[in-house]
Amino acid sequence: MRLKIAYSPCPNDTFAFHALANGLIDLEGIEPEIILADVEHLNRAACRESYDVCKLSYHAFFMLSQKYSMLTCGSALGRGNGPLFVTNRRELSNIDTQFAKKELKERGVLIPGQMTTAALLLKIAYPWIDLVEEMLFSDIERELLEDRVGYGVLIHEGRFTYQDRGLLLISDLGELWQKMSGLPVPLGGIAVSNKLDINTAEKVGRVLKRSIEFAFKNPRLSQEYVKINAQEIDLDVIKKHIELFVNEETLEISNEGRRAVYTLYKRASEINPQIRYRENIFIL
Name the residue among 105, 107, 109, 66 with its Cα closest to residue 86.
Answer: 109
Catalytic member of 18, 41, 59, 156: 156
Long-range contacts of 222-230 (CB under 8 A, 24+ apart): 222/14, 222/15, 222/18, 222/19, 225/14, 225/18, 225/21, 225/22, 226/11, 226/14, 226/15, 226/18, 229/9, 229/10, 229/14, 229/36, 230/9, 230/10, 230/11, 230/14, 230/157
d(CA 130, CA 106): 11
H-helix or E-strand containing 179?
A: helix 173-181
156 catalytically annotated: yes
Helix-strand-coil percent breakdown of the chain, rounded to 5?
45, 20, 35
Half-sphere exposure of 12 (CA within 13 A, CB side): 27
Burial readout 41-77 (b: 16 or more C-beta within 10 A, e: otherwise)? bbbbbbeeebbbbbbbbbbbbbbbbeebbbbbbbbbb
Q: Is 63 helix (H, G, I), strand (E, B) or coil?
A: helix
d(CA 283, CA 248): 17
Question: What residues act catalytically?
Answer: 156
